[in-house]
Structure 1
């Protein structure tokens, strides 16, 4: 007789190889980042995952014994990483920007979200792809994509293309934006604000802004983390709309009989987003010792890195080139739009 404990052990055994591979990849990514700080560890993790599933020697492993653990990492460890991301945020730092700067940053996020979503529809992208790309590009990259996918109930496989695109454009920003600093006449402070308002992932922001020094890096981080705070309200709004949609569909289908199972609605705000907000509040109180904050940062890097390796290991380059060309053009248009909106906001901040 197979007991529940036996089933749990068997399921865990199937997860372990993929999880071990993901954690090993994180170790490699962090080591490479230490040697070459210009390369964000999270970007390296995605690239390693893409390489693993496309190289002849490892592709069969990724599609075979590692697959279950890689999928688990891509979904569940992403949520753990989002929770710990909250420890990077202090509401006091955001308040120090002043209400005008905060309002401009919120405006950039909302306009870039709406503009990217409209571009996705204009380019006729399927399903939730326009929404996921808009969320990732306007807020905080792959983390935001994971949060929105959870609210929408998007299949794991459908998050692969948005994550690949946000990684591509964020990586382009690391190489391109520093070259534009002097031609555009930006000071170090303005460059940092531009990067923080216009680059997608936190790691990509750090890698781009640090090329202009500590002033630029500090400004970029504060502006970027202000954008990250907007993850919760935007996910909450979409969650509310999704719940209303499910309610309408359930009513249209007719109320269930007394003995029938009632439909399950998606949460307005997922539990891990509530955890993210709780971590922000905890950091803001100042009660956490520096060692705890550093430990949380390491936990975030490990969880997000493993999740991104898992997602990267779902990207078949041949299939991506075949199906993602239109989405890639759309993403580049969105990248240019967000950079332009952020540039305008920076000049208004200094006005």
Structure 2
């Protein structure tokens, strides 16, 4: 009996793939992404974007080791969800109050209108529905973080995630250059310009880079406005999860609904941060850990992304991303002017 049990254990150990090689590979790529940010000209890209680019480069040159597959799957699911939950510690209800109800209304309406417009245009252009939702989420909410969070509900291909991240990277980077130039003749003022950057630019790092070009007040307000927009990730994911569940039940006549339970953890962390009881000595490391976990998830997605499949999607998704980018810049600016938020 003992010999049989030991034999079974040895056999299981030989056939069950270890998660550690994949986790280690994703972690090493994430660490390299953080290190590369110190190179001149690279700091404008977030570690999340650098991580998926590095993963894609490795996947499409040397290939992804088979031994890493199990660990990469863990990076794209539990590790990703842990990062999203911890992201809640970066946000407080006090930040929302600082933006003011008019500013929050501008941000929320810009988000909803952009998501709706992108979804509609995606259907018109014939872009895959899952890829459309990822581009819509990345453009309307918070860039790469929103893309990977939304994909937990939409369950698109890794190539879809990579394409959506590429869109928010390119067009968000263009916003960093164009919005400060536009302010030269728009003259929105520090708070108005900060609100415009926070309501329209994709990534937090991109908002910081653009808003601070117009001074300290614009930079601070733009950052707070952007974090307020990030907070809207939770209700958006819950709504998408509810729609996905309804669609799933309609197609299969029942079955388990894809409820994004981790979003409630995100909301709980926002509540914890809002109490003011968490010391800065804890919040700073938590922010770094959050970014690292999300970078690991994107590195894993990059390692599973085949550029040939990415190219097969054609130019229509890129056109969709460009149209969504122009739309959110235009609609948020119009709302700021119409509401007098400037």
Relative to structure 1, the CA distance from residue 321 to residue 177 in structure 2 (aligned partners, 3 Å threshold; closer, same or farther) is farther
Q: Does the 8 Å contact 1:142/1:201 carry over to 2?
A: yes
1:179 alignment counterpart: 181
Relative to structure 1, the CA distance from residue 316 to residue 102 in structure 2 (aligned partners, 3 Å threshold; closer, same or farther) is same
Q: Does the 8 Å contact 2:153/2:237 carry over to 1?
A: yes
* TM-align CA RMSD: 2.6
1:159 alignment counterpart: 161
- Residues of 1 paired with 2:293 and 2:15: CA distance? 22
- Residues of 2 paired with 1:79 and 1:315: CA distance? 20
2:4 alignment counterpart: none
1:278 alignment counterpart: 268
Q: Does the 8 Å contact 2:22/2:70 carry over to 1?
A: yes
Relative to structure 1, the CA distance from residue 186 to residue 43 in structure 2 (aligned partners, 3 Å threshold; closer, same or farther) is farther
Structure 2: state its 5+ residue gaps.
1-6
- Residues of 1 paired with 2:196 and 2:121: CA distance? 22
Per-residue deviation at 1:328?
Answer: 0.6
CA distances 1:189-210 after superposition (whole Å, capped 9, x unpaired): 3332211100112233223333
Q: Does 1:18 align with 2:18?
A: no
Deviates more, 1:40-49 or 1:273-282: 40-49
2:258 alignment counterpart: 266
Structure 1: state its 5+ residue gaps.
252-261
Structure 1 segment 31-110 matched on structure 2, within 5 A: 31-36=35-40, 37-54=43-60, 56=61, 59-60=62-63, 62=64, 64-110=66-112
1:256 alignment counterpart: none
Q: Does 1:350 align with 2:319?
A: no
1:116 alignment counterpart: 118
Q: TM-score, normalised by structure 1?
A: 0.85
Per-residue deviation at 1:28?
Answer: 2.1
Per-residue deviation at 1:91?
Answer: 0.3
- Residues of 1 paired with 2:50 and 2:179: CA distance? 19
Could you tell me which of 205, 208, 219 is aligned with 1:206?
208
2:196 alignment counterpart: 194
Deviates more, 1:224-233 or 1:178-187: 178-187
3-state DSSP class of the match of 1:2? helix
Number of residue pairs aligned between Structure 1 and Structure 2: 333
Q: Does the 8 Å contact 1:22/1:309 carry over to 2?
A: yes
Relative to structure 1, the CA distance from residue 174 to residue 68 in structure 2 (aligned partners, 3 Å threshold; closer, same or farther) is farther
Q: TM-score, normalised by structure 2?
A: 0.87
Q: Does 1:227 align with 2:218?
A: no
